[in-house]
Amino acid sequence: MKPALVIIGCGGHARVVFDAAAAMGVHRIVGFWDRPEEGGKEFLGLPVVHSLDEVKAVLRAQAVVVGFGVPLSSRVQCFDQILAECLQPAPIVHPSAVVSPVAAVGDGTVVLAGAVINSSAKIGRNAIVNTSAVIEHDCEVGSHAHVAPGAILTGGVRVGDQAFVGAGAVVLPGICVGAGAVVGAGAVVNRDVDPGLVVYGNPARVSHESRE
């Protein structure tokens, strides 16, 4: 029997993760886990539970995947809870994604439809490679990072833990985006981004807004 999978969250991203997991066909999706103030009794026709105890005792989950994108701090917290409870953080890779046989995808990472992860790229744990994103050869994407729809990391790019690369952004070869940094949608990044900075525009420049 296929292992039972629970998806954390009941929002738009959870719907997309559900579709990817269903298309992948490796797990039985048995339900969702969400906060009591957020989730109802059902989502996408499956039960919603509101505690980790219920995930284990009611849904009898063997594998769990984080199904929301923000806030990143909550993604990290949920992932740590999964590990602490000895549940398996399931990597979800949509069958239409192209993943090189010599790329590495970490536990709990979600790779969505049309994404490309090329030769010798490394993706950390609990990351998101969103719809049609491109991770070129020899890139490294840190744990809990998010590469948004249509973003392109050209060869040899480094993206730190908990960083965010916005929709349609392009990061040029060999550039480093530091841990916790944010690259705005559509930005073209042609120089390194220090940890925690927010950049936007073409060429990307530092925003005066600090990241929460």
CB 72 within 8 A of CB 162: yes
Specify the residue for token string 């993604």: 75
Answer whether residue 149 shows pLDDT above 60.
yes
| pLDDT at residue number 71 | 87
In this structure, which CATH number among 3.30.360.10, 2.160.10.10, 3.30.70.360, 3.40.50.1820 belongs to the domain 91-201? 2.160.10.10
Over residues 54-77, mean pLDDT: 93
Between the two ends of the chain, the Cα-to-Cα distance in Å is 43
User: In the chain, pLDDT over 90 holds for what percent of residues?
Assistant: 90
Answer whether residue 139 shows pLDDT above 80.
yes
| pLDDT at residue number 212 | 46
**Number of neighbouring beta carbons within 10 Å of residue 2:** 11
Per-residue three-class SS string for the chain: CCCEEEEECCCHHHHHHHHHHHHHCCCEEEEEECCCCCCCCEECCEEEECCHHHHHHCCCCCEEEECCCCCHHHHHHHHHHHHHCCCEECCEECCCCEECCCCEECCCCEECCCCEECCCCEECCCCEECCCCEECCCCEECCCCEECCCCEECCCCEECCCCEECCCCEECCCCEECCCCEECCCCEECCCECCCCEEECCCCEECCCCCC
Per-residue pLDDT tens over the stretch 31-47: 999 987 765 789 999 99
pTM: 0.95
- The architecture that CATH gives domain 4-90 is 3-Layer(aba) Sandwich (3.40)
Over residues 146-164, mean pLDDT: 98
Per-residue pLDDT tens over the stretch 71-116: 888 999 999 999 999 999 999 999 999 999 999 999 999 999 999 9
| pLDDT at residue number 35 | 83
- CA dihedral sign, ordered 139, 101, 109, 43: positive
| pLDDT at residue number 37 | 72
Length of the chain: 212
Select from 174, 153, 150 the least CA-distant residue to 163. 153
Answer whether residue 53 shows pLDDT above 70.
yes
Can you give the residue ranges of every domain in the chain? 4-90, 91-201
Which residues are part of the catalytic machinery?
137
